[in-house]
Structures are given as C-alpha cells and as structure tokens.
Structure 1
Amino acid sequence: MAYGVVGAVSLALLGLTACGGEDPAPAAPRAGDSAAANPTTSEKVEVLDEVTVQRIQYPTEDADPEQNWADLYLPAGEQRVDSIPLVVLIHGGAWQSQLGAQIFEPLARDLAGRGMAVYNVEYRRVGSGGGWPTTFRDVANALDHVVAVDRRFPQLTTDDELVVGHSAGAQLAVWGGTRHKLEDDEVGSRPAFRPTRVVSLAGPLDMVYAATHGDDRIVKVLGGTPKQVPDRYTSVDPIQNIDPDTPVIAIHGTADRMVSPENSRRYVAAVQKKGGEAKAVLIPNGDHGSVVTSTAPEYPKVLDIITDASAADIDDVDDVQG
C-alpha cells in the first residue's frame, strides 16, 4: 500500500519545484510602531503585485538544509499587519522520500490566489534520514517555527489557523493539532504553535486499524506493529489523541484503494462520540490522488472546503456524501 499523489498526478506536477530565496520580503509595521500609530500620515503598506514565495529554513535536531524547510507563499495585494490568514500544508507520500513538498505547489498557489498565506512544509522521511522519531520531530519543529515566521512577516495571522495534510501528511496534520495533549517526554510535546482547525485529505486517521489491515507503510515509519511498539501508536495515532475542541474535516474519496475511507469514518465517529466537532466528506468516485490533483473534477470542491475552513467556519461544509 502506498500514499501520496501517485498515478493521478502527472509527471509534470511531480517535477515542479518551489521558488524563492532566503531573504524575507520587507515586513509591514506592527501595531504600536511609530508608523502604525498614525497610518493616515506615515504608514507605508507593502503591496505585492503577484504571489511571492520565500524559502524558510526551520531549526530541528541535526537539520538537513535540503529537507528541513518550508516555502511561504504570500498572496498579492496589501500586506497589512495581522491581515492575512495562514494555512499550513503537510504533504503525503507514505512518510517516505519518493514524494516531497513540491507536489503541493499547485494547491499552495491556488490558496494564495484566494488571499491566504501558505506555509508548505518539507521534512525528512523514510529513505532520506527520517522515520521514527525524526519525521515527527521535524514536523513538530516546522509547526513551532511559525512563531518566528510571524515575527518576520507580521502581515500573517497565527492565532486561529488551519493545517491541511494529505495522506501521511494528514496523519501528521491531525496529530499536530493535538500535540498540546502529549506528555512532556513525548515527541512533539509542548507546542509553541497549535493549529485550531485541521483538514485531512485521505488520511490514515486510525493507524492501528490501518496497520492491522495491511498497511505496512505505517509499520515501517513507526518501526513496528501496534503490538511491537504500542507506545508509539498511542503517541501519534490521531484517533487515540482526539481533542474535542479542535474541529476536523476528513475528506476522502470513496474509490480510494490506498487508504480506506473507513479511516475517516472511524475517526469522525470517535470525535463526535467525545462531543467534538468533526465532519466526513466522502467524494463519490474520488481516489487517493484525485482529492489533491488540480486537474481532477474533485479538486474545486476540496479547494472550497479548505477556503471555508480557513475562515473558521466548518458548519457550511457538506456532510458525508455518497
């Protein structure tokens, strides 16, 4: 079984790379600065003519500069302080090195085209220095670095933000939204940045169920089966780390043969049983890759759902379909 955008994504998409440089764009003044205090006379608000991309290196243990980075997409238009909502993207690929953050380039640009800032995370995976616990530590540190990114780019809002993940990245995204519940000695505990809403795209949100139903990729990234390393599953399995106060939308294609839609159904039912807010959106005939493929008929609906979730409103999202 494999994750990520596979046959549904063209070779051209897989070949895309993010652009940008190390130096940040000039930051807009924060409230309280002399310029911001009298905006009618002295404030100069930066205006971008087009979507721009900045490469951000985030700190993590034994960092690899070729993999420990995120691309920050800034939308065109005025860059006023605390005016642009941030969406974090975490790509899939079975926690393995074959697919990277470049597969989310089209989605990142489309979201930026809708007025959002996008933080597209790369991280080490199995086959490129990742696995347990490195992959999970990298993603946790990339999320926590949002605090520093906000200082460099004060036009971002980071107090009530959305994380979106696909496939393995969906597991990491949902886990990222509940890290505040971890014990101090667990990987990723004591987060500096906590997303308040999550969108899962074809995610293995019940890792024990998936691992015991033929998903050897989970066994590989965690270094064992649920019986062999139960504490690791307990720590990172989304269904075992539910926060009823963190709304989750679980999108899944009904024709997904790589990650069973049952993962989303089981997770949403468990959240609702705990009194939390979660919705499953099952897309008829959608497969594992089509939910994130810009040329697929399902893609506009996915884009709309992410846009609605970014606005802190999941009530308008359709419930289970098909």
Structure 2
Amino acid sequence: MKIGLTKPTRVPRAGKIAAGSMALVLLVACSGCFSKEDPGPLKIQDSTIASAEQPVSERAEPTAQRVPYPVGGQGDPSQNWGDLYLPGGVHKRGTVPMVVLVHGGAWHHSIGASTFDDYARAISARGYAVYNIEYRRVGSGGGWPTTFTDVAAAFDHVKQLMAEHPELSGRAVAVGHSAGAQLATWASTRGDSQLVPGLSAPKFRPSRIVALSGPMDMTFEATTDDHDLFHVMGGKPSQVPTNYSAVDPIQNLDPQIPVTAVHGTADSTVAWQNSQRYVQTLQARGGQADLKLLYGETHGSFLTYGSTHFNEVIDLITNGK
C-alpha cells in the first residue's frame, strides 16, 4: 500500500525531530509577539458570543411568579394574570422551552388556574418554563367575547415574557384541558378575525399544540345540549353562528402548527369523537395531527399524579411523544 511518497525520505534522529517540532510550535504561538507594541489580551468583539458562554439565570429550585398581562379596554387585575414557573438549575441563553397552559372548567368561574398548579410544577420539573394563565369566565366578568379576548391577550404576552427572560428558547407548546383545550387551540391558530370584538392580530404562535379532552368541534359539541357552551358563546350555533365560526377550533385551522389531541375513551363529559373529528379535518387540510386515545381514562383522570397515563401525557407534552 502506498502512503503518498514517491521516493524514500531520510528520517532524522529523534532529538532533531523534537527540536524542530518545538521551534515550529513556538513560531506559530508567537506569530503576533514580534510587533513593537503588545496588543494585550484577545478581545471578543461580538458580545453575543461572549454571553452565549455564560449562564443568564441560576435558581437553586423552581420558582413561580405572578405576572399580569394587558388586555384591550377595562381589564380585571384579579383575573388577567398568569403564573410563570421557571425551572431550577443553571441556564444559558435560549435553552429553556415553555409550555403555555390553559385550565378548563366549562368556561365557568367556579374553576380557576389554581387547579393546574400541581400540573404546572410537574411539567416544570422536566426543565420547562410554564405559563399557567387565568382569564375571566362566565360568572366573573367573562363570557362572549371577553373570555376569548383575555386568552388571546395572554398568549400575545408570551413574546414579552421571552424578552424579559433570556433563558427562554422561543419554542413553546400550547396545552389546554377541556374548555382550556378549545381556548388554547383557538388562541394558537386564530387569525385577525373581525368576528370577535376587540380582537387584534396575533403576536405569538406556538411550535406545537397538545389538546386534552377538548371540545375541538364546538358545533358538534352543541348537539349534546351543552349549556355551559351555550352560556359562554351567547347561544346555540343556530342563534349565533358567527360566534362559533370565529372561535371554534375546527373552523380556525392552521396546518402549519402540529396538533396532538388526547382523549380518554371513558370520557362522558366531552366525547372522544370530538377530538377525532378535529384531527381528521386538520389532516384533510394537509396539517400534522395525531389522536392519542387513553383507554379507560375519564375526562380528567389522567391529570392526577399516579394515574395510569399521567407520566405518558407529561412525556407527550415535554418530549413530543
């Protein structure tokens, strides 16, 4: 086998090799040492390179802070906020992904964001920041269109949170349960619809959506005589059709955002066929959509720590599996 030499090469003694090699190293290392003035230590001109090598946040344990979000018109500081959970540890710039979490509760004031506190902590323990939002609901100043414009405003505020916390990567997953699944999905895929009074163009889009037990086809859900749905929408589809077309997830598709719909097969509150209809419609539009059926689970049983599919769903949210 030839190694590239066409004629024999004389090999010098070992001592001469060492000396020659050292001379070469010194020449390269000191190639800038022969100027008349010492240039001093090397300086990095691009500050982004320097900052990328240093952590921008360090926490001994996960923390939570309440952050208000602005709304158009008269807001309610007692409800227009989100709890921001930040994971513990040392984090460099742009390394921490986020989950935007929307609680359910039939759009009714009796159930609030505190019901998702433990779930937010479980997600944050996986290294995610979690933005668990509160919003006005039926019976506490919400209803049509306030509930929807509140959630849209909370989603728009994600851009500000990312600017304030440089460890956040800019990648976010929108997650909602039940009514929160409808709200999270619609807020993620909505356009600048004039059918919702006070709605502005979206400022934020998540990279992915996970809808848990959601009424993803609100017109189909209305066939079950869901009075909570009628209260938040201001009537039945036959009475306020433009309201439904404005915020119904299945009527506001964005094929560019992947969606995973998760539903228990024993759900008697919102039928799993609701998620199936949404997934099939999004797939027909060329979007990436998956249906994950949890055998034997009810409407929210898989949200309870220690339940059969608890870790599986958390994995799906944080790992995309």
TM-score range (shorter-chain normalised) is: 0.7 to 0.9
CA contact (8 A) 1:56 1:72 kept: yes
1:239 is paired with a residue of what secondary structure? helix
Q: Does 1:231 align with 2:242?
A: yes
CA contact (8 A) 1:201 1:291 kept: no
* TM-score of the pair, normalised by structure 1: 0.81
CA contact (8 A) 1:144 1:191 kept: yes
Q: Does 1:116 align with 2:128?
A: yes
Give 1:268's aligned residue.
Answer: 279
22, 25, 46: which one aligns with 2:57: 46
Return the offset for 1:45: 3.7
CA contact (8 A) 2:109 2:137 kept: yes
* In 1, Cα distance between equivalents of 2:220 and 2:228: 13
1:78 is paired with a residue of what secondary structure? strand
Q: Does 1:218 align with 2:242?
A: no
What do the CA deviations read for 1:73-113 (whole angstroms, capped 9, x no partner)? 10011132111001100000000011111111111111111
Give 1:140's aligned residue.
Answer: 152
CA contact (8 A) 1:247 1:276 kept: yes
* In 2, Cα distance between equivalents of 1:40 and 1:151: 16
What is the percentage of aligned positions where both structures have the same residue? 49
258, 262, 268: which one aligns with 1:257: 268
In structure 2, the CA distance between the partners of 1:285 and 1:192, relative to structure 1 (3 Å rule), is same
* In 2, Cα distance between equivalents of 1:244 and 1:252: 21
Give 1:14's aligned residue.
Answer: none
Give 1:186's aligned residue.
Answer: 196
Root-mean-square deviation (Å): 1.8
Return the offset for 1:184: 4.7
User: Which has the larger Rg?
Assistant: 2
* In 1, Cα distance between equivalents of 2:286 and 2:56: 43
* TM-score of the pair, normalised by structure 2: 0.82
In structure 2, the CA distance between the partners of 1:208 and 1:48, relative to structure 1 (3 Å rule), is same
Q: Does 1:277 align with 2:285?
A: no
What do the CA deviations read for 1:20-63 (whole angstroms, capped 9, x no partner)? xxxxxxxxxxxx985x543599x464311100001101111311
Bigger mean CA offset, 234-243 vs 183-192: 183-192
> Which residue type is aligned with residue 296 of structure 1?
S
Aligned residues: 275
1:38 is paired with a residue of what secondary structure? helix
Gaps of 5+ in 1: 1-31, 310-316, 318-322
Return the offset for 1:254: 0.3
Gaps of 5+ in 2: 1-44
Give 1:155's aligned residue.
Answer: 167
CA contact (8 A) 1:55 1:72 kept: yes
CA contact (8 A) 2:55 2:92 kept: no
Give 1:106's aligned residue.
Answer: 118
Structure 2 matches for 1:303-318, cutoff 5 A?
A: 303-309=314-320, 317=321
201, 205, 215: which one aligns with 2:212: 201
Give 1:8's aligned residue.
Answer: none
CA contact (8 A) 2:196 2:243 kept: no
* In 1, Cα distance between equivalents of 2:50 and 2:154: 35
CA contact (8 A) 1:198 1:248 kept: yes
> Which residue type is aligned with residue 126 of structure 1?
V
* In 1, Cα distance between equivalents of 2:161 and 2:50: 25
* In 2, Cα distance between equivalents of 1:40 and 1:73: 23
